[in-house]
A and B are shown apart, each in its own frame.
Chain A
Amino acid sequence: MKEGLSLVQRLSAHPDSRCWFVSWSPNGTLLASCGGDKAIRIWGQEGDTWICKSVLEDGHQRTVRKVAWSPCGNYLASASFDATTCIWKKKNDDFESLTVLEGHENEVKCVAWAPSGNLLATCSRDKSVWVWEVDEEDEYECVTVVNSHTQDVKHVVWHPTQELLASASYDNNICIYKEDDDDWECRVTLEGHTSTVWSLSFDNTGKRLASCSDDRTVKIWKNCSPDDQQGDLSWKCVCTLSGYHGRTIYDVSWCRLTGALATACGDDTVRVFKEDETADPEQPVFSLVAQVAKAHDQDVNCVTWNPKEAGLLASCSDNGEIAIWRFQEES
Chain B
Amino acid sequence: MSSRLENANPVIFQRSGERLLTASEEDEDVHDPIDEREIFDLIRSINDPEHPLSLEELNVVEQLRVKVDDAGSTVGIEFTPTIPHCSMATLIGLSIKVKLLRSLPERFKIDVHITPGSHASEDAVNKQLADKERVAAALENSSLLEVVNQCLSTRNI
Residues of chain A having any CB pair with chain B under 8 Å: 18, 36, 62-63, 65, 81, 106-107, 109, 125, 152, 154, 170, 195-196, 214, 247-248, 266-267, 297-299, 318-319
Select one of A154, A214, A298 contacting B106, CB under 8 A: A298
- With both chains docked as a complex, state the minimum distance between the C-beta of B44 and any C-beta of chain A, in angstroms: 27
* CB of B134 closer than 8 Å to a CB of A: yes
A36 touches B133 (CB 8 A): no
If A81-B137, A109-B133, A152-B134 touch, does A297 touch B106 (CB 8 Å cutoff)? yes
* CB of B26 closer than 8 Å to a CB of A: no
- Give the complex CA separation of A320 and B137 in angstroms: 17
User: B106 — which chain A residues lie within 8 A by C-beta?
Assistant: 297-298, 318-319
- With both chains docked as a complex, state the minimum distance between the C-beta of A261 and any C-beta of chain B, in angstroms: 22
- Give the complex CA separation of A175 and B67 in angstroms: 38
* CB of B132 closer than 8 Å to a CB of A: yes
Contact with A along B120-151 (1 / 0, CB 8 A): 00000001001111101100100000000000
Total CB contacts across the A-B interface at under 8 A:
37
* CB of B107 closer than 8 Å to a CB of A: yes
Minimal Cβ-Cβ distance residue in B for A196: B131
Known: A297-B106, A298-B106. 5 other contacts (CB 8 A): A62-B140, A81-B140, A195-B127, A297-B107, A299-B132
User: B134 — which chain A residues lie within 8 A by C-beta?
Assistant: 125, 152
* CB of B109 closer than 8 Å to a CB of A: yes
If A81-B140, A196-B127 touch, does A65 touch B109 (CB 8 Å cutoff)? no
- With both chains docked as a complex, state the minimum distance between the C-beta of A153 and any C-beta of chain B, in angstroms: 12
If A298-B106, A298-B107 touch, does A18 touch B131 (CB 8 Å cutoff)? no
Minimal Cβ-Cβ distance residue in B for A151: B127
Minimal Cβ-Cβ distance residue in B for A247: B109
- Give the complex CA separation of A247 and B137 in angstroms: 21
- Give the complex CA separation of A101 and B18 in angstroms: 55
- Give the complex CA separation of A62 and B139 in angstroms: 11
User: B136 — which chain A residues lie within 8 A by C-beta?
Assistant: 18, 36, 63, 81
Contact with A along B71-111 (1 / 0, CB 8 A): 00000000000000000000000000000000000110100
User: A297 — which chain B residues lie within 8 A by C-beta?
Assistant: 106-107
Minimal Cβ-Cβ distance residue in B for A109: B133
- With both chains docked as a complex, state the minimum distance between the C-beta of B82 and any C-beta of chain A, in angstroms: 28
Between A and B, 12 residue pairs with Cβ closer than 8 Å are: A36-B136, A63-B136, A63-B140, A81-B136, A81-B140, A106-B137, A109-B133, A196-B127, A214-B127, A247-B109, A267-B109, A298-B106
- With both chains docked as a complex, state the minimum distance between the C-beta of B52 and any C-beta of chain A, in angstroms: 33
